[in-house]
Structure 1
Amino acid sequence: MARGDHQNDDDDFMDPPQRNRATRRRKEGDEKKKRIHNRASQERLTVLIDKFTDDQKGAAAEMGMQVLMDVRCTNLVNPVCDWLGEIYEPPSREFVIPGRGRLPLNEESMFCNLGVPRGHIKVPYEVNNEIEEELFAHLFPGLESMPNTSILADSLQAMTTHGDVFKMKLLMYLISVVFAPTTSLRPSNKCFPILANLKNVKNMNWCKFIADFLHDAFKNKMYQKGCRLHLMLMYVDGLDLSTVDFTGVGGPPPTHKFAVSAWTISVVNAVLAADRATDGTYGKLQLMAKHAIDYSVFGGPQKFGKWMDVHSAPSCPSEARAPVEHLIGQFASGMTGLLGKLVEGSQEPGDTQDDVDGDAGLNKDDDDDTDNVHQDIDDDEHAEVRTGENKGKDATVAHPPEKVKEHTAVRGEGVLPSRRGRAPEDVGQGSHGKWSKTDPVARGNGEPTAGG
C-alpha cells in the first residue's frame, strides 16, 4: 500500500482471511488476502548494526540510541509476544501472568529493556504534509511514494557517510521495525516531523512513546502492532531463572543495566522452553520477587478471583475492578511475607543471661581486636571459649589471635555475622549489635595472655 497524504496507521490492519471451520481452508476469493503480520525484522536490524562503521554508531549515539547499537538478540519469538498481548489489562496497563504476578507497561520498564532516551519532549509522531514534502525528496530522490522498509534497509546498508541523511534514515528504520512497527510494508509518513527536529531526538521521551503505542494497540486488540522486542525482553528478563538449565547456550544472561545488550536468542529460547506449558501458553516459571504477587492467603489466584466476585457489585466494570484487585493482591502478598517472618522469628532460641552479661562486657577495644577474626561456630552457640587459665579442663581452647588471623587470611573470608542476623558490614564498626561468645580474644585488656 503506497503511503498517501492522509495515511492513518489503522489502515495497516486488514481482516484476516476467513476460513471454513470444518476444512480450515480459505474461502473462495480470499487467496490473495494477506494475513496480519508485524513487519519488525530483528534479524535485519542486527545485520545492519553489525556493518555500521564506528562513525555511524557514533551518529546513533548523538541521537541517544547508543544502547540499541549493542543489541544481541537476532530474532523474535512471536508466540510469547502474541500471548502477552492476550493477557494485557488496559485499565491497569499491566500484563497479568496467571498465578504469578504482573508486569507493568510503563516508561521505567521500557528504559530498563531498550535504554532509549527518556527526555522531556513529546515524540511528534504525526502527519505533517508540508514537512513530508520538504524532506521526502531529500531522503528518497527519484521516488514518488514511500519505499518498502526493506528498500530503506538496503539504502542504509549502502551508506558510507554518517551525516543528517544517515541519521534520518536510521531513525525512520528504528521507528518502523523496533519502536512502532505496524503490519504495513512501508515506514509511516508520521515519522517526518521527528526527522525535522533531529537535534532534539535525544531529548524526546521515547520510552513513553513506545509504551503508549503498545498500549493503544493492545487496547484496540491489535496484537500484531507495537514493539515486540520490548515484549519479549520484558518477559524473560522478569522471570526467576534459578531453575533454568542453560547448558549449551553459554550460561544465563550477564549482569546488565539494559536487557537489550545482554540477551541472545539462544538464551531467550532456553528460558521460554522452560516456561512453556503443555497447552502452548507460558507462565510455568515464577516471576522475580519484585513482580510476583502471592495469593496464598486466599488459597490461590482462582480463589482470590472468587473472593473478588463475592465482594464486588455485579454492575462493577472490569476497568474499575482491576486497580482494586492489584492493590489487594499487593497487600495480601506483603502480609504473607510479614507473617512468614513473624513465624520464623518466633522459632529462634531466646537469649540466656550469660549472653546478656557477655554482651554488656564487650567494649570498643574488643570490637577492634576482632575485626579480622573468622569464627567457625558449632551447633552449640553457647559454648564458652577460654584461654590460659582453663588448660587441662574440659573447655574449648582458643588459638592465639595471631594464628586465628593467619587462618583467616588463608581462607580469604571476612568475619561472619552472628546467628541473630547481624549484617557483615556492621561488624567492627562500633555498633551495638550482639556478638557470639565464641570470641577467641582474651577479654581482659584485649591482649593475649601468656598461656595464649
Structure 2
Amino acid sequence: MNAQSVEFVLGIPSRETIINTKEEEAGKQAFLVLFGLTEVPTIKFFGNKLMNEDMSDDQIIRCFLVVALSTFLCPTSNTKPSTKYMGALVNVEQLKQLNWCMFVHDWELMYIKKYQKEKLKQNRTMMTLGGCIYHLAVRCLDFTDFGSIQIPSLMPRICVWKGDMVKHLSDMTIGRDGKYGCLTIKEVSETCYKDGTFEWESTIKNSNFRKAINNVAGNSLSDKVKEDIFLAYKNHMKNEDLNTCIKAKGLLLDTIRIITNASGESGDTVKVGSTGTKLNASQQSNN
C-alpha cells in the first residue's frame, strides 16, 4: 500500500508538487472568498451548486472536487468538507501538477490509524472508517484468487472494477461464518501488478490526445501525419504509467507547436504530408 497503488487503482494525478496542508487556515480563507463565504458549508451546498447553478469552469471544477474528495477520495464522517485540501483548490490551473495520489494515500493511513486507536480505546463494534474505501476494496480483490474467473489487468483498476462487480466478487469471499477471507490470497507475481507488465486503459492514457494533436498542428500537418504521431505515441507509451504518459504528451505537443510556429514565421507552408513537405509558391519558383 503506497501512493503508487492509489495511481494504479484510481488513475488520478501523481505529479511532483506535494499538497501543502501546513497553511490550512490561510488556504481555507482563500477558498471561501471565491464563493463569497465566511464559514465552511456542508458538502450538499457544493453538490447543489453543481446541479442547479450556472458557474464558471473554475468554480465547476472546485465544486466537483470538493464533492469527490469529501465523499469518495478522502471522506470522513463529517457532513462538511475538510479544510485540509481547500487551499489546493484555489489555483485550478495547478491542480494537475499536484501529487493527489500521495495525498489520498496519506489521508487513508491517517484514518486507518485513527480507526484502530478509537476502536481499541472505546471498544466499539460500529465505527466509521475514513479514507478511500474503494481503493482498499479493489486492492484486496486484486489479490484474491477467484479461480476460473479472469479479471482484466488494465490500469487504472477503476476502469475494471465498476458497477456491481465489487459487491458481487466481494460476496464470494464471505465464508460460512459470515466473515470475509475464505478464498486464497495471491502472490504479487500472480496479480495484475506483476513486473509492471500491465496495460493502461486507452481512454485514460490517451484521453482526447488525438484531438489535442489536431488542435495544436492545425492544417500544418496532414491528417495521416497527425494520426501517425498519435499511433507512435500510443505504441511507445502502452506500458508506461500515467505520470510518464502525461509528461510525454506535454513534450510531444510542445514539439509540434514549436515546429508549426517556426514554419509560420519562415513563410513555409505548411502542409506536411506522409512523403514530405509541400513548398510555398516562392520556394517553388526559386527551385
CA contact (8 A) 1:180 1:210 kept: yes
Q: Could you say which residue in structure 2 is the equivalent of 1:410? A: none
Q: Could you say which residue in structure 2 is the equivalent of 1:121? A: 17
Distance 2:181 2:101 in 1: 26
Q: Could you say which residue in structure 2 is the equivalent of 1:234? A: 139
Q: Does 1:260 align with 2:158?
A: yes
Distance 1:283 1:162 in 2: 48
What CA deviation, in whole Å up to 9, does each residue of 1:216-265 have, x standing for no partner?
Answer: 22223266111112111211222223245xxxxxxx65442111122234
Alignment CA distance shift 1:118-1:276 (3 Å): same
Aligned residue type for 1:226: G
Aligned residue type for 1:263: W
Distance 2:70 2:189 in 1: 30
CA contact (8 A) 1:253 1:263 kept: no
Q: Determine helix, strand or coil for the equivalent of 2:184.
A: coil
Q: TM-score, normalised by structure 1?
A: 0.37
How far off its partner does 1:110 sit? 1.0
Q: Does 1:192 align with 2:86?
A: yes
Distance 2:189 2:75 in 1: 27
Q: TM-score, normalised by structure 2?
A: 0.56
Q: Could you say which residue in structure 2 is the equivalent of 1:274? A: 172
Structure 1 unaligned blocks of 5 or more = 1-104, 245-251, 293-452
Structure 2 unaligned blocks of 5 or more = 119-127, 191-287
Correspondences of 1:34-49 after superposition (within 5 Å): none
Q: Does 1:138 align with 2:41?
A: no
Alignment CA distance shift 1:271-1:235 (3 Å): same
Distance 1:226 1:172 in 2: 14
CA contact (8 A) 1:180 1:226 kept: yes
CA contact (8 A) 1:240 1:287 kept: yes
How far off its partner does 1:283 sit? 1.4
Q: Does 1:203 align with 2:97?
A: yes
CA contact (8 A) 2:30 2:90 kept: no
Which has the larger helix fraction?
A: 2
Q: Does 1:153 align with 2:47?
A: yes
CA contact (8 A) 1:126 1:191 kept: no
Q: Could you say which residue in structure 1 is the equivalent of 2:76? A: 182
CA contact (8 A) 2:50 2:60 kept: yes
How far off its partner does 1:287 sit? 2.6
CA contact (8 A) 1:106 1:211 kept: yes
Correspondences of 1:35-434 after superposition (within 5 Å): 105-139=1-35, 141=36, 143-161=37-55, 163-220=57-114, 221=116, 224-244=129-149, 253-290=151-188
Alignment CA distance shift 1:260-1:192 (3 Å): same
Aligned length: 179
CA contact (8 A) 2:40 2:80 kept: yes
Instruction: Let me know the Cα RMSD of the aligned residues.
Output: 2.4
